[in-house]
Structure 1
Amino acid sequence: MNPLLSLPPVSAYSSGVGSSSSSASSPSGSQTSSQYRSATPAAESHNAGKKVGGLDEAQLKELTELKARDREVRAHEAAHQATGGQHAGAMSLTYQRGPDGAQYAVGGEVSIDMSSVDGNPQATIEKMRAVRAAAMAPAEPSSQDRAVAAQAMQVMLQAQSELSLERPTLAGQQARDTYQDIAAFGPEPASGMDGFLSISV
Structure 2
Amino acid sequence: MQIGGATSYPAPAATLLPARPLASNISPDVSPDITRAAQAPITAAQPLADEQSASAREEADKSTDTSASPNKAKSREGEPSPQQQRLEQLEITKLVSRDQEVRTHEQAHAAVGGRYAGAPSYTYERGPDGKRYAVGGEVGIDTSPIPNDPEATLRKMEVVIRAALAPAEPSAQDRQVAAQAQAQMAEARAQLAQQQRSEASAASEARAERREKADEEPQAEEKESAAPAQQDLPPPPSLDLYRQLSGLQTPTPVVDLVA
Determine if the TM-score, normalized by the shorter chain, exceeds 0.5: yes
Alignment of 1:163 with 2:188, yes or no, is no
Q: Give secondary structure in 1 for the equivalent of 2:169.
A: coil
CA RMSD of aligned residues (A): 2.8
Higher helix share: 2
Distance 1:193 1:93, change over 3 A: farther
2-side partners of 1:193 and 1:155: how far apart? 53
Match of 2:169 in 1: 140
Is structure 2 residue 154 aligned with structure 1 residue 154? no
Do residues 49 (structure 1) and 75 (structure 2) align? no
Match in the other structure for 1:199? none
Structure 1 residue runs of 4+, over 6 Å off? 178-181
Q: 1:91 is matched by which residue type in structure 2?
A: P
Distance 1:89 1:175, change over 3 A: same
Per-residue deviation, residues 129-161 of structure 1 (Å, max 9, x unmatched)? 111111111100001111111111011101111
Structure-2 residue corresponding to 1:75: 104
Q: Quote how far apart the aligned CAs of 1:110 are.
A: 0.2
Q: Distance in 2 between matches of 1:115 and 1:69?
A: 32
Q: Give the Cα–Cα distance (whole angstroms) in 1 for the partners of residues 139 and 166 of structure 2.
A: 12
Aligned residues: 142
Q: Which runs of 5+ in 2 are unaligned?
A: 1-79, 223-259
Q: Does 1:62 align with 2:91?
A: yes
Out of 124, 134, 139, the residue aligned to residue 95 of structure 1 is: 124
**Whole-Å separation in 1 of the counterparts to 2:206 and 2:155:** 29
Unaligned segments of structure 1, at least 5 residues: 1-47, 197-201
Please report the TM-score for the alignment, with normalisation by the length of structure 2. 0.49
Distance 2:107 2:139 in 1: 9
Alpha carbons of structure 1 residues 159 and 50: separation in structure 2 relative to 1, 3 Å: same
**CA 1:149–1:185 in 2, change beyond 3 Å: closer, same or farther?**
same
- The one-letter amino acid paired with 2:81 is G
Q: 1:121 is matched with which residue?
A: 150
Q: Calculate percent identity across the aligned residue pairs.
A: 44
Q: 1:99, 1:169 → 2: CA distance? A: 67
More strand by share: 1
Q: Which has the larger radius of gyration?
A: 2
Map Cα deviations across residues 145-181 of structure 1 (whole Å, 9 max, x no partner): 1111111101110111111111012123345567788
In the alignment, the residues of structure 2 paired with residue 78 and residue 125 of structure 1 have an alpha-carbon distance, to the nearest angstrom, of 24
Aligned match for 2:135, one of 103, 106, 111: 106
Per-residue CA deviation, residues 74-102 of structure 1 (Å, 9 max, x unaligned), is: 01001111111110011110011111111
Cα separation, 2, equivalents of 1:141 and 1:170: 41
Alpha-carbon spacing, 1:101–1:185, altered in 2? closer, same or farther (3 Å): farther
